[in-house]
Structure 1
Amino acid sequence: MEERIVPRGAARTGYRAVGQGPAMLLLASLGRGAEDFAEVAPLVATAGFRVLCPDPRGIGRSSGPMEGLTLYDLAEDAAAVLEAEGTGPAIVAGHAFGNWVARALSAARPDLVRRVALLAASVTTNLDPAIRASIDGSFDPALSAAERLAHLQRGYFAPGHDASVWLSGWHPPVARMQRAATAATDQRWRRVAERHRTLYVAAAEDTIAPVPSLAQLREALGEQVSLTVVADAGHALLPEQPAATASALVGFAREV
Structure 2
Amino acid sequence: MTQQQKTIVVTRSSQGARSGVIQAFLARSCNILDALVSPIMFNTFKHAVCASLFAVTALTVAVPASAQPIPYPASFKTDMINVDGVKFYVRVGGRGPAVVLIHGFGDTGDMWTPLAVALAKGHRVVVPDLRGMGLSSKPEGGYDKKTQASDIRAILDKLGIDKADIVSHDIGTMVAYAYAASYPDKTAKLVVMDGPVPGIPPWEQIVRLPVLWHFDFGGKDVLRLVQGRERIYLDRFWNDFAGNPAKLDEGTRTHYAKLYARPGAMKAGFAQFQSIRKDTVDNAEFVKTKLTMPVLAVGGEKSFGASQAEQMRNAATNVTEVIIPDAGHWLMEEAPAATVKAVQSFLDPN
The TM-score with structure 1 as length reference comes to: 0.83
Structure 1 counterpart of 2:298, from 201, 206, 230: 201
* CA gap 1:192/1:95 in 2 versus in 1, 3 angstroms: farther
Runs of 4+ in 1 over 6 A off after TM superposition: none
* CA gap 1:216/1:120 in 2 versus in 1, 3 angstroms: closer
Assess if the C-alpha contact under 8 Å between 2:102 and 2:168 holds in 1.
Answer: yes
Greater shift after overlay, 146-155 or 16-25? 146-155
Counterpart residue number, 2:316? 222
Counterpart residue number, 1:78? 152
Could you tell me how far 1:197 is from its partner in structure 2? 1.7
Are residue 246 (structure 1) and residue 340 (structure 2) matched?
yes
- Report percent identity of matched pairs: 23
Are residue 116 (structure 1) and residue 198 (structure 2) matched?
no
For residues 159-201 of structure 1, the C-alpha deviation after alignment (integer angstroms, 9 at most, x for no partner) is: 6534543354244222122123332231234578524221101
CA distance in 2 between partners of 1:11 and 1:198 (Å) = 30
For residues 30-63 of structure 1, the C-alpha deviation after alignment (integer angstroms, 9 at most, x for no partner) is: 25321111222112213x1111110112234422
CA distance in 2 between partners of 1:104 and 1:155 (Å) = 24
Counterpart residue number, 1:166? 253
Greater shift after overlay, 149-158 or 171-180? 149-158
Structure 2 counterpart of 1:65, from 119, 125, 139: 139
* CA gap 1:253/1:33 in 2 versus in 1, 3 angstroms: same
* CA gap 1:100/1:192 in 2 versus in 1, 3 angstroms: farther
Are residue 30 (structure 1) and residue 105 (structure 2) matched?
yes
* CA gap 1:68/1:9 in 2 versus in 1, 3 angstroms: closer
Counterpart residue number, 2:210? 129
Q: Kindly report which structure 2 residues correspond to 1:149-188, keeping only aligned pairs within 5 A, or say none.
A: 149=235, 151-158=237-244, 161-162=247-248, 164=250, 165-169=252-256, 170=260, 171-185=265-279, 186-187=282-283, 188=285
The TM-score with structure 2 as length reference comes to: 0.63
CA distance in 2 between partners of 1:75 and 1:130 (Å) = 27
Look up the equivalent residue of 1:152 and give its one-letter code: W
* CA gap 1:129/1:224 in 2 versus in 1, 3 angstroms: same
CA distance in 2 between partners of 1:24 and 1:11 (Å) = 22
Q: RCO higher in 1 or 2 (8 Å CA, sep ≥ 6)?
A: 2
Number of residues of Structure 1 aligned to a counterpart in Structure 2: 250
CA distance in 2 between partners of 1:99 and 1:142 (Å) = 29
Greater shift after overlay, 140-149 or 55-64? 140-149
Secondary structure (helix, strand or coil) at the match of 1:21 reads coil
Assess if the C-alpha contact under 8 Å between 2:196 and 2:308 holds in 1.
Answer: no
Secondary structure (helix, strand or coil) at the match of 1:39 reads helix
CA distance in 2 between partners of 1:192 and 1:249 (Å) = 25
Structure 2 counterpart of 1:211, from 302, 306, 324: 306
CA distance in 1 between partners of 2:308 and 2:132 (Å) = 35
* CA gap 1:134/1:76 in 2 versus in 1, 3 angstroms: closer
Could you tell me how far 1:234 is from its partner in structure 2? 1.1
Structure 1 counterpart of 2:114, from 33, 39, 44: 39
* CA gap 1:158/1:189 in 2 versus in 1, 3 angstroms: farther
**Unpaired runs of at least 5, structure 1:** none
Secondary structure (helix, strand or coil) at the match of 2:332 reads coil
CA distance in 1 between partners of 2:308 and 2:230 (Å) = 37
Could you tell me how far 1:14 is from its partner in structure 2? 1.8
Secondary structure (helix, strand or coil) at the match of 1:229 reads strand
CA distance in 2 between partners of 1:252 and 1:95 (Å) = 16
* CA gap 1:101/1:150 in 2 versus in 1, 3 angstroms: closer
CA distance in 1 between partners of 2:249 and 2:141 (Å) = 31
* CA gap 1:64/1:243 in 2 versus in 1, 3 angstroms: same
CA distance in 2 between partners of 1:64 and 1:133 (Å) = 20
For residues 61-111 of structure 1, the C-alpha deviation after alignment (integer angstroms, 9 at most, x for no partner) is: 422633254212111111122212223311101101000100111122223
Give RMSD over aligned pairs. Answer: 3.0
Look up the equivalent residue of 2:241 and give its one-letter code: G
Which structure is larger by alpha-carbon Rg, 1 or 2? 2
Are residue 54 (structure 1) and residue 54 (structure 2) matched?
no
